[in-house]
Amino acid sequence: MATGNEGETNGCTFQWKIENISHCWWLFAEGMASPSFIADALEGTKWCLFLYLTGNRNEDDVSVYLHRKGDCSGPNIIEINFQLAFLGADGSLLKERSLSKQGFLRKSSKGFHKFESRKKMFFTEKEAFLPQDALMFQCTLWRKDESLVKSKHFYARTVFNVSRSFFVWSIRNFSTVNAGLRRKFKDNLFDFDLVLNEDIDKKLDIDMISLDDSVRYISFNTSIIDLEEKKENCGIKNCSADDLKVGVLSPVLIFPKKLMENKSRYLPNDVLSLGFEFAFWTKESESSIWKLQTKGKRGVKRKMPYSRKEIPQHTAALATDLKSMYKHGIFVDTELRTWAQTFPAHRNILSARSPVFRSMFMNDMKETNSGHVDITDFEADTVNRMLLYIYTDCLEDLHFESASKLYTIADKYEILSLRSRCSSFLQDNLRPTNACDVLILADRHQDDDLKSAVQDYIVEHNEVFSSLGWKIFMDTNVKLAADIMYRKVLNPGKIYPCNV
């Protein structure tokens, strides 16, 4: 969720970019909800967008709605004007519809059941609506009885991190080969066999051996590679998690009669070459990134603070690819071992991000010869979070406890950017109940900037001094407590007695 001060704005514009959408749209029969945003110019009301790519009432239509959240400020009912639109790659309006003076109660939605044809968006005009397989959905809302003069801009980004793989299966003596021939494929998340079977015609089935619970779908795209090494697409089979649990998927491909009718092209030396590409998406692969701007009537933009680190599109794509290499153990050459779990990794990436890891692998240390690094002083979750940051430069689902542990491991392995990000998070989330813990952490790691920030916070929040935690802190950290009291004397204010 994003928020901020609107200033003189009288509306807001929310843009939601959904990447790799063509692989996942059919899984959301119940619709997709965008991240929430707060429109301060509209009395602090909170909103989100609903998108039904298989239609809310008719599966051939795409339905779109603006929804007012229930947990928001503002009047019981608010009247606004709003516009919903799909944008092209250049920001132009491909499809837009508007409504004026619409009253919204809390937990109410308004929009369009038949906003656009799904066939048009995903097939006939896919290049326009889904450039680089991304849909841009925009909503602009402003005060009733006014023209939009200046709006605050919100940007949200959702990425379905689809992983892809490709291999070629060459079937020798195809004309006479017996049914039951198999080709195995095994990944960290699933294990399946391609099976050559025969009913009336020869066909290709998939026998799922095992499947990780995190996999939401797999898309199988089969092609025939001819004598000139050109691929002729034979179709795509999309399989949801429920489909995959059935076991045997039939058929992925029914071999066309033209194979036997044109052997010189498709069966040189009676060898059939099949190109097999599959893409899969897991539950854990969703992410959102925000930035905020204010846009004036003439299009002049003024940068505003944003809630998370903004990542350029090309950098985000690289991060997605590196994350896939980490998640699926592609070409790994070392392991990070905790008491509970082992994490395959790449020495060159670890070395690029951490001078401590670089020293381990460059010098004749046991980590170089053994092929693994033992990390026994941190939990598996902390090591996994550190690795995700190393590979993607992103922090996901961070909370106070995990940030404290990440700060510690970042300091140990000298990942300075991660330590800085965790320090900022801890400062932003200081509370009277945790300030003493953060002060101890900062002092232990000799972080003067974080330490000074926490000291200032404690001095300015008298409720810290009335807590039992402060009493314990004074007993166990006499020097730190004395420093706080010295600052308090320099900045006098009421000090409450401890409630013990």
Q: What is the largest CA-CA distance in the chain?
A: 95
Band the pLDDT of 498: cuts 50, 70, 90.
very low
Q: Using CA atoms, how far apart are residues 272 and 394, in angstroms rounded to an integer? A: 44
Q: What is the pLDDT of residues 269-322, one digit of tens each?
A: 888 888 887 777 766 445 554 544 444 433 333 333 333 344 444 456 677 778
pLDDT range class, residue 488, cuts 50, 70, 90: confident
Q: How do the residues of the chain divide into helix, strand and coil, expressed in percent and rounded to 5?
A: 35, 35, 30
Q: With a cut of 60, say whether residue 13 has pLDDT above it.
A: yes
Q: What is the pTM of this model?
A: 0.49
pLDDT of residue 155: 83
Cβ(343)–Cβ(381) below 8 Å: no
Banded model confidence at residue 159, pLDDT cuts 50, 70, 90:
confident
Q: Cα separation of 424 and 433, whole Å?
A: 18
Among 48, 302, 94, 353, residue whose Cα is nearest residue 345: 353
400 pLDDT higher than 50: yes
Q: Which residue has the higher pLDDT, 329 or 411?
A: 411
Tokens coding 60: 């051939």
Query: Per DSSP, what are the bridge partners of residue 11?
Result: 142, 151
Residue 346 has φ and ψ, to the nearest 5°, of -120, 125
What confidence category does residue 165 fall into, taking pLDDT thresholds of 50, 70 and 90? confident
Domains and CATH numbers, the chain: 11-149 (2.60.210.10), 163-283 (2.60.210.10), 313-429 (3.30.710.10), 435-493 (1.25.40)
Give CA–CA dist 486/484, Å, rounded: 5
Q: Which pLDDT score is estimated for 300?
A: 32
Report the C-alpha gap between 255 and 400 in whole angstroms.
Answer: 57
Residue 197 is predicted with a pLDDT of: 77
> Which H or E run contains 352?
helix 347-353
For residue 64, the model assigns a pLDDT of: 94
